[in-house]
Amino acid sequence: MDFVDWLLSDEEESITELEPNKKHKSYRFKNLKINEVTIENYCNSLVPSLARQVEMFLPPSGSFETEDLRRYLELVQTYETTTNDMVLGLSLADQIRIAFSDMKAATICDRFPDIDLNSKRRYRCVAEYLLRQGELVKVKDANGKLVKKIGNAGKPVVLYRGTAKLYETLKNSKLLHFVKHDNQTQPTLEETADC
């Protein structure tokens, strides 16, 4: 049962497993059959960005075997496609990408003020994943030190900013219609690299 059906149902107090109304799947995994990917055919099986992401783990420099590669791809797929968005079916990664698409510095709490503590941890983990992918950067001052601000819990928290790669991923995923446009031009790598 999806969220809309549940809202319209007459059932009272029933426990129902809800499925997202729509389930967006990352363009990197849209036609991928993970169980068919091997360390020999990964270049032809994966989109170029995903192939570059995994190549460091493969021989001769890495130690992944085919089963390790498949487990890694399944893990990355969960970051890219797992959802808690019952209406749009967007993954946490896509929600963060859209939230930081304005390329302005902010914390996870700034962009998602109503989520609970456990969810904030999950969002931060996914933000760190996007950081490693080059889609987000941590904001630094002129001396190269991290810029932090005091968060809702009274502790210093890191500021993130989107990059041109984040914008490109939204474009490739056909999610730009979720991005608020304020008549600014698309950011360039130089504009987002100076963080």
Q: Cβ atoms within 10 A of the Cβ of 144, count?
A: 6
Identify the pLDDT of residue 93: 87
Q: 94-124 pLDDT, tens per residue?
A: 889 999 999 999 999 899 888 887 788 888 8
In the chain, CATH 1.10.10 sits at 96-195
Separation between Cα atoms, residue 6 and residue 189, nearest integer Å: 44
Closest to 124 measured CA to CA, from 163, 159, 170, 73: 159
Which pTM does this prediction carry? 0.61
Q: 37-70 pLDDT, tens per residue?
A: 999 999 999 988 889 889 989 998 889 999 999 9
**45-80 as b/e: b if 16+ CB within 10 A:** bbbeebbebbeeebeeeeebeeeebbeebeebbebb
29: helix, strand or coil: coil
What is the CATH code of the structural domain delimited by 96-195? 1.10.10
How close are the terminal C-alpha atoms of the chain, in Å? 44
Separation between Cα atoms, residue 76 and residue 17, nearest integer Å: 25
